[in-house]
Amino acid sequence: MEIVLTFVLAGIAILLNTMRMIKRMHNYLQIQNTIESSFDVSMIDVSGQTEYVRCFSHQWALDNIVRQKPGWLGTKIYEYLRDNTFSASICILLILGVTVILSGLVIVHSINILGEALVVLLFSGVILIGPEESRSAEEYLRVVRRIKTSVLNAEDYAYVKLAIASIKRWIYRSAAIGVLLIITAPNAYSLMSSVAMLISIVTSLIIIQPALILLEFHFVATILYVMVMVVLVFYMIPKEINRILKRGKSTEKEEERTIII
């Protein structure tokens, strides 16, 4: 019963958050209407295939997305990696491995206490935070909303339209996920069992069974193998797949992109 209730509550929370985004969208559409009434935007390409560089929005994107400066800790890590590439890579790999393993133990222990509901709560938390693309789009639109119209020009219209489109896409997806959680709530037990079985099979075939074989020969090598495989399977491979998919989309756009200077 707890897992069913968690599915329903998570779905409701996501839908409420989606409604908040829809409410904020009204303010963003006002920005669009203001630019439309202040400048001639009839010749502006809003497909994303033309890059406009003579506007406030282009400079904002360069300063806050392209050239975003790392913090103090990020700078120190970069300098250490630059000066000690091999040893730093080994250290980071070990730290990531230990962190992932400890996090896994904490999650498993938490699941024993809270049940599968914890997994649903973590998933819904990720959805509530939202992707970086839509968060950056909202941050940009909030900045544009605060500045004077005299700072903008017709070329900013393309950036505003693209930002609004990005937020709309996430609104649709977020709403779909919220509704899906509520609809699938009656089958929550079987769904979570299937997911757990899939993770168990993958973990057993790729990590546990090879590690048991390796343990007969060398204990330290076994620990290193587990650390490396956990990082690869649960972090690096999913991240690389996501990067390839994004690069594929951006490459298609780059082939037809025109830069207006």
pLDDT band at 85 (very low <50, low <70, confident <90, very high): low
Q: pLDDT, tens digit, for every residue of 7-29?
A: 899 999 999 999 999 999 999 99
Residue 152 DSSP symbol: -
Going 54 to 60 to 65 to 70, the CA torsion angle's sign is positive
Residue 149 DSSP symbol: G
- Number of domains into which the chain is organized: 1
Q: pLDDT, tens digit, for every residue of 179-213?
A: 999 998 888 778 777 776 777 777 778 777 888 88
Q: Which residues lie below 8 Å from residue 41, measured CB to CB, with a gap of 6+?
A: 35, 154, 157
- Maximum mean pLDDT: which of 68-72, 108-112, 157-161: 157-161
Nearest to 13 by CA among 133, 195, 181: 181
Alpha-carbon gap, residue 25 to 167, rounded angstroms:
8
Domain range for 167 is: 2-260
Q: How many CA atoms lie within 13 A of 35 on its CB side?
A: 26
- Maximum Cα–Cα distance across the chain: 74
Alpha-carbon gap, residue 176 to 15, rounded angstroms:
9
Instruction: For strands 50-52 and 258-260, give the pairing.
Output: parallel
Alpha-carbon gap, residue 94 to 231, rounded angstroms:
9
Query: What pTM value is reported for the model?
Result: 0.69
Cβ atoms < 10 Å from Cβ of 256: 10
